[in-house]
Amino acid sequence: ESIDMQSNLVCDADQASTWDAFAAFFMLGIFLTSDIYQAYRAIKLAFKTSVFNLMFADLAFVEVITALLSATISISQQLYVGHASDAIEVGVGLLFIRELSSRAYQGLRYNSKKRYMGFFVILTVTVLFGFSLSSSFSESHDI
């Protein structure tokens, strides 16, 4: 007896609803609206100053648009297979990673002074603490 494997391989995923898409893209819009507006203002102001400033303003705008496109593609892919909560999680997660650079910059500066040593000591302690908890958790839950 011959079994047709392709007829048994059926994807039961369904596209997410319009409301799911609205929620995911609304959160994306809330997160990126101010960045897009600031990048646009930077370009407008850079026209009045120098070519060097315009180049960096354009770079900032491209970075924001790239973040928008990558989050849109990731969200759309998750919505297409019917995972609305994953779509929101992926979009917010990508944008959270984008925010890490500004957080790191804020952590390095305090009262217009650079605080490299303190920043890296606390970062190292935090990472080691996370690893120690992760390894102790995985060791206690091995089956």
At 1 the pLDDT is 57
Split the chain (143 residues) into runs of 10 and give each run's mean pLDDT: 60 67 86 87 90 88 87 86 80 77 68 75 86 71 53
At 140 the pLDDT is 59
Give whole-number Cα distances, 111 to 106, 117, 128, in Å: 10, 15, 28
At 44 the pLDDT is 92
**Residues in CB range of 97: below 8 A, 6 or more apart:** none
At 77 the pLDDT is 86
At 60 the pLDDT is 86
